[in-house]
Structure 1
Amino acid sequence: MKHSHFKSLILLGLILGIVRLQAQNLPAYSKKVHLDHSFVQEFSVKYLVGDEEKGFKKAFADRNGTVQVLSENGLLRTHAGAFLYPGKLIQDRTYLPMKDKAIKNITLVDEQFVYLDDKAVFSNAWAGSLYLPHQLPEARLFAQGDGFNFLVSDGKQLHLIGEEGLLWKGSVNGSAILDIKYDNVRKVFYLLSSESVRSFNLDKRSIETLTSGNEFTCFELRSGKELLAIGTQDGFFEWDLTEGRVVGEKNKALPWPELTEITEINGMLWFGSQMGAFMLREDGKFNYYFGKRWLPGEKVIHISQKNENEVLIMTDQGIGKLVFDTFTLEEKAAYYDQQVRQRHIRHGFNASLVGMEEGNVNSGRLGDSDNDGLWTSMYLGGEAFRYAVTGSAAALQNVRESLDAMERLYTINPVAGFPSRSYERSGYIERLSDPERWQHATDPEWDWKATTSSDEAIGHVFVFGVIAELVEDEAIRAKAVRLLDELMEHIVENDWYLIDYDGQPTTWGRWNPEYVNGFPTMVGDRKLNSSNIVAMLQTAYHFTGKELYKQKAFELMENHGYLENLMRPMEGIGKAQEGSDEWAAMLSESWNHSDDEMYFLGYWGLYRYAFNEELKEKYKIAIMDHWEAERPEKEGLWNIFSAMVSPENFDLEEAIWYLQEYPLDLINWTVKNSHRKDIELMEENFRRQSTREVLPPDELQIRRHNANRFGLDGGRNGTQENSAGDIWLLPYWMGRYLDVISSPVNE
């Protein structure tokens, strides 16, 4: 489990996840099943400021949950703020006389705010009775010792003060003090400078150097571990206080080694840097919080714990409050369902919210897409699985509405059995940047998008088959079968092409043997198109019973080598040999991850509706061969599809990891990871696998299933929110339908 830093949730993380069950009525194999226990789901609530409010220093929350921020302009507090709806940092006027105080620092004592100004250490807690003059007009650092004793410093001079007054004073030579920590076991204060860590012994009233170096920036006393964690401009190391030596070697393999802050929360080290925050996990790897999904700014200034399940990360642009909540997968699905229905349904299509301003989901518009039919097929499939599992009336209505949208793709254009890419009202289309694809419908109110691709076709066939098999409503089922039949009639009658309004094949809607077998065997489209069209014909035959579809499928497999094509191992797919035509060379420059999406959507009909058991066994070999090639991506949907074929041998753990780690925030923020020092980069390769191990989904940009999960950088700067309908709800509800994910388990 990724988020193990809250002790109250560690045990929960250990018991959740992957359990292999041998049910009484199952076959001889051991079917993998995930028991849906609660897991830790994190998200961020951000608090922003205007240009005039900068110079942040620290942020703490007291025992009442009140957050105070110390800035160069005085004390600030948080206002409003919720997930996806940023709050603000505003002037704190709670205690109006505080405005006249020249506050230089703030800390917590017994979960109460305590302040340092140019005259004293004081607080508004304890009935305001705490007021300890320190006699250092330039004081800027302080730390609590035992009781109400404090060590105060201006960077050079040190004054130990208490309720009895000034208890001791001294000074340090060399570089200025940057921070002070107190060790209540050894009764010493630790003093950090850029060149050393020194200790001030209360009993001896003496200062001595523990360790020297250069470019020290921050440090933390580790609770109960006899260690100091010392941050530098180039990583961190730990100092053993018992043995007086460095433990191991300096760790430079951090997401970013230029450290600004170290703090310990529930036994876990948290780091602030010039490029985001990160937490050191028990497995030695890091959770990385960088970019506006998590934080308002890049430079981290201060980190503190707010309560059991919240962490405040102050940046130069405001605060990101990380919230670690508990969800079951079903609860996460319910949240995503609400996200889709409230913001991502356009005429029944599963659509993206585009044209947003800085992540403001209320400022966007529903955008059309070349792949409206594909994205909607995937969402629609998820809702059909949901209906089959739960019998939900809402899921059935969602199926009905989105299937209506799919049907209109066929009826809004004049070509029989030809699915449009999309449609929209005419006045809107005139303002689009791609008007040549749009054609006027007979109804002057509407335009439709042409040039439909094979991506659309395989998506349609996939979901028509799912609906026909699983949805009991006869009218809905009949509509799905009719549309399936119309599409396949069009393809068969037009010699294995999608024929557009102009009478010409579309660029990508081509399954004709001359086209398919024109590619060298290593070009992926030869295998892909063969696999897809056989799956499409099998699905059509299964639900219509028309012998023509079965006959044509066997003709392609036996007379044109389509079975051999689709059975070709993935290791044989690569770049076209020198001398191949430009089209083959272009299609094989690198692995196309859209092809993966088309393959796996096709596998539903290829395997499930196989003509006979002999073919089914062959298809299983091809599908699992593809799955083996895809395993490094830990792609949730591909793993769930593989459960259909091999429920005893698929990456259930990785599928659940994908579902749990996908961020609740589906805004397409810009993310960067290529600068990280904690990842192992790989040489350029055909599959474009950039790192040895794929990063968690919440550290990457939002990606649909047709994208490379090894892409390290990218995004749209908060101008778009993706729908969970295709990204998350399809793999989850398919997993529920295939019984590899359980319903929620009572804790």
Structure 2
Amino acid sequence: MIRLYMVALLGMLAANAVAEPFSLAQKAALFEYDMQKRFMLDGQALCKLKRPAASRDFVAYNMPDNAYMTGIYLGALSMQYAVTQEPEVRAKASKSISALHLLCTVSGKKGLLARAAWPVDKPMEDDGIWRPSKDGAYTWRGDVSSDQMDGVFYGYALAYDLVATEDEKQAIAKNVAALADHVIENDLRIIGYDGKVTAWGKYYPAYAKSWEKMNALLLLQLLKVAHHVTGAPRFDEAYRHWAIDEGYAKTAVNARKMGNPSRAGAINHSDDVLLFLGYYPLMLYETDPELRRLYTDSMVRSWSGTERFPGVKPEANPYYAFCAQRFLNDPSGVAAGIDTLRWFPLDMKWNHDTISQYEQEFGFTHDPTPQSPVPKEGEPVPVDRRHKSWSAWVMDPYAPGGSRTENSPLAFNGHDYLMAYWLGRYAGLVDAEH
């Protein structure tokens, strides 16, 4: 499959000049090629590649967010398949659906998601708490969070709608039901293998209505997706109970913690990604006028900001901009979002040896010179002026730009580019010729 993608990529690059800038489609193809080559384990997306070091002679991975990233990547593949109808894309999506099934079941405790799973016969080096699976074939990382659930439910929703076979839909429904039942039956908590609430697995009112209002939104996403893929009345009843009777939909209006983004640490940009992953299924599936109004108010606040503080719109994040166009009918951020995709730098993700290898393999010349205008003081830093990061959308776009000239012991994949690019294609905001 990688070979097929390489042939397609070579054809795309050969059809144009061999120097950057690539078209957006060519860049997506290159990130996809690298994703499949270095960052996949039987459909499971691997977060952060650790290059061989003096202490070990093998490539290792830091894997706190495999479930989250696999869900996001599955969502991107689902939209890609909806656009292209390519059998190879469906095959990759099927592998990631299977990988999520493993993550949903490997703990041996019904409804307890694993952050990551790794075959016991492969060398590994990672932090976190790992336990053996009951069949002895895997070791799995625990202490799962609402972040991981958010990514998984996002990916499952898109896969169910756009790419899954009937058998896969049944498997998705079964896994989603188990995850949702676990949360409901444990009083809106994720209970780990040790019988304790996980560090970030909290959706209950005392937490979600005061400390972390984002989790009110994420619980509603979870329940809405559960009802959508299963059709089970209990999930619709739970959804409406928490959305309406317990006021979670009203709480979710203020899901984003606002602040002065120029002040370091004032905004949790990782939470912004989680919010928009949550908005997508809610805005897609909700038909109740009052609930839809509340979710729209929440999304407008996150996107446009308040009288005192800006939302995410100035950041020129293409995923957020494309969501705003699709669900808020606000096209004002689309052009800037496309510019971000155009300027998205390869060396934010990869070290120079990898880029050099791909230059030789595919016949292009990498130019690391920023193409964006220099930002004014207090403005977000364009993506091609930022430092290396595992996620361009999680990093602080207001932080001073950093150098990417030094090689890093880590390398990262392009899931962030792919999730935005394929949403743009699927929503008709980015065409194949961009």
Query: TM-score band (shorter)?
Result: 0.7 to 0.9
Give the one of 407, 413, 424 matched to 1:723.
Answer: 413
- Distance in 2 of aligned mates of 1:485 and 1:618: 26
Give 2:46's aligned residue: 351
User: Is 1:341 aligned to residue 36 of structure 2?
Assistant: yes
- Distance in 2 of aligned mates of 1:364 and 1:739: 42
Matches within 5 A, 1:271-310: none
> For the Cα contact (< 8 Å) 2:318–2:336, is it kept in 1?
yes
Give the one of 76, 91, 101 matched to 1:397.
Answer: 91
Going from structure 1 to structure 2, the CA distance change for 1:666 and 1:366 (only over 3 Å counts) comes to farther
Matches within 5 A, 1:369-388: 369-388=63-82
TM-score, normalisation: structure 2 = 0.81
Matches within 5 A, 1:343-492: 343-352=38-47, 354-356=49-51, 365-426=59-120, 432=125, 434=127, 437-471=129-163, 473-492=165-184
Going from structure 1 to structure 2, the CA distance change for 1:713 and 1:406 (only over 3 Å counts) comes to same
Give the one of 378, 382, 385 matched to 1:695.
Answer: 382
Matches within 5 A, 1:210-609: 324-325=19-20, 327-352=22-47, 354-356=49-51, 365-426=59-120, 432=125, 434=127, 437-471=129-163, 473-519=165-211, 525-526=212-213, 528-568=214-254, 570=256, 573-574=258-259, 590-609=266-285
Going from structure 1 to structure 2, the CA distance change for 1:622 and 1:327 (only over 3 Å counts) comes to same
Aligned-residue offset at 1:622:
1.4
> For the Cα contact (< 8 Å) 1:666–1:723, is it kept in 2?
no
- Distance in 2 of aligned mates of 1:720 and 1:709: 20
Going from structure 1 to structure 2, the CA distance change for 1:324 and 1:474 (only over 3 Å counts) comes to same
- Distance in 2 of aligned mates of 1:388 and 1:739: 12
User: What's the CA shift string for 1:271-299, capped at 9, x where partnerless?
Assistant: xxxxxxxxxxxxxxxxxxxxxxxxxxxxx
User: What's the CA shift string for 1:647-684, capped at 9, x where partnerless?
Assistant: 443411111011111123454569xxxxxxx6544xxx
Give 1:641's aligned residue: 323
Aligned-residue offset at 1:394:
0.7
AA matched with 1:697: D
User: What's the CA shift string for 1:149-191, capped at 9, x where partnerless?
Assistant: xxxxxxxxxxxxxxxxxxxxxxxxxxxxxxxxxxxxxxxxxxx
Aligned partner of residue 346 in structure 2, secondary structure: coil
AA matched with 1:447: T
- Distance in 1 of aligned mates of 2:301 and 2:107: 40
Going from structure 1 to structure 2, the CA distance change for 1:346 and 1:368 (only over 3 Å counts) comes to farther
Aligned-residue offset at 1:335:
2.0
Aligned partner of residue 721 in structure 1, secondary structure: strand
- Distance in 2 of aligned mates of 1:714 and 1:376: 29
Aligned-residue offset at 1:491:
1.0
> For the Cα contact (< 8 Å) 2:50–2:411, is it kept in 1?
no
RMSD: 2.9
AA matched with 2:87: A
- Distance in 2 of aligned mates of 1:713 and 1:665: 12
User: Is 1:707 aligned to residue 395 of structure 2?
Assistant: yes
- Distance in 2 of aligned mates of 1:650 and 1:617: 21
Going from structure 1 to structure 2, the CA distance change for 1:409 and 1:553 (only over 3 Å counts) comes to same
Going from structure 1 to structure 2, the CA distance change for 1:353 and 1:509 (only over 3 Å counts) comes to closer
- Distance in 2 of aligned mates of 1:733 and 1:679: 27
Aligned-residue offset at 1:553:
2.0
Going from structure 1 to structure 2, the CA distance change for 1:693 and 1:480 (only over 3 Å counts) comes to same
- Distance in 1 of aligned mates of 2:170 and 2:426: 22
AA matched with 2:43: G
Aligned-residue offset at 1:574:
5.0
- Distance in 1 of aligned mates of 2:411 and 2:141: 23
User: Is 1:740 aligned to residue 416 of structure 2?
Assistant: no
TM-score, normalisation: structure 1 = 0.48
Going from structure 1 to structure 2, the CA distance change for 1:722 and 1:406 (only over 3 Å counts) comes to same
- Distance in 1 of aligned mates of 2:232 and 2:157: 15
Aligned-residue offset at 1:437:
0.6
> For the Cα contact (< 8 Å) 1:462–1:601, is it kept in 2?
yes
> For the Cα contact (< 8 Å) 1:373–1:456, is it kept in 2?
yes
Matches within 5 A, 1:200-219: none
User: What's the CA shift string for 1:536-577, capped at 9, x where partnerless?
Assistant: 21121122222222222222233332122111385x7459xx
AA matched with 1:729: L
- Distance in 1 of aligned mates of 2:265 and 2:48: 32
- Distance in 2 of aligned mates of 1:548 and 1:471: 26
Aligned-residue offset at 1:382:
0.6
- Distance in 1 of aligned mates of 2:84 and 2:411: 28
Aligned-residue offset at 1:326:
5.0
User: Is 1:659 aligned to residue 341 of structure 2?
Assistant: yes
AA matched with 1:512: Y
Give 1:109's aligned residue: none
Give 2:5's aligned residue: none
User: What's the CA shift string for 1:664-713, capped at 9, x where partnerless?
Assistant: 3454569xxxxxxx6544xxxxxxxxx42422335532341222122333
- Distance in 1 of aligned mates of 2:351 and 2:22: 23
AA matched with 1:329: L
- Distance in 1 of aligned mates of 2:82 and 2:227: 22
User: What's the CA shift string for 1:320-339, capped at 9, x where partnerless?
Assistant: xxx74353322222222212
Aligned-residue offset at 1:714:
7.0
State the structure with bigger RCO (CA 8 A, min sep 6), 1 or 2. 2
Going from structure 1 to structure 2, the CA distance change for 1:709 and 1:573 (only over 3 Å counts) comes to closer
- Distance in 2 of aligned mates of 1:631 and 1:535: 22
Aligned partner of residue 604 in structure 1, secondary structure: helix
Aligned partner of residue 117 in structure 2, secondary structure: strand
Going from structure 1 to structure 2, the CA distance change for 1:427 and 1:341 (only over 3 Å counts) comes to closer
Going from structure 1 to structure 2, the CA distance change for 1:504 and 1:406 (only over 3 Å counts) comes to same
Going from structure 1 to structure 2, the CA distance change for 1:699 and 1:590 (only over 3 Å counts) comes to closer
Unpaired stretches in structure 1, ≥5 consecutive residues:
1-41, 43-308, 310-322, 520-524, 576-587, 671-677, 682-690
AA matched with 2:313: R
AA matched with 1:601: L
Aligned-residue offset at 1:728:
1.0
> For the Cα contact (< 8 Å) 1:465–1:481, is it kept in 2?
no
User: What's the CA shift string for 1:427-453, capped at 9, x where partnerless?
Assistant: 667x6353x611122233421111001
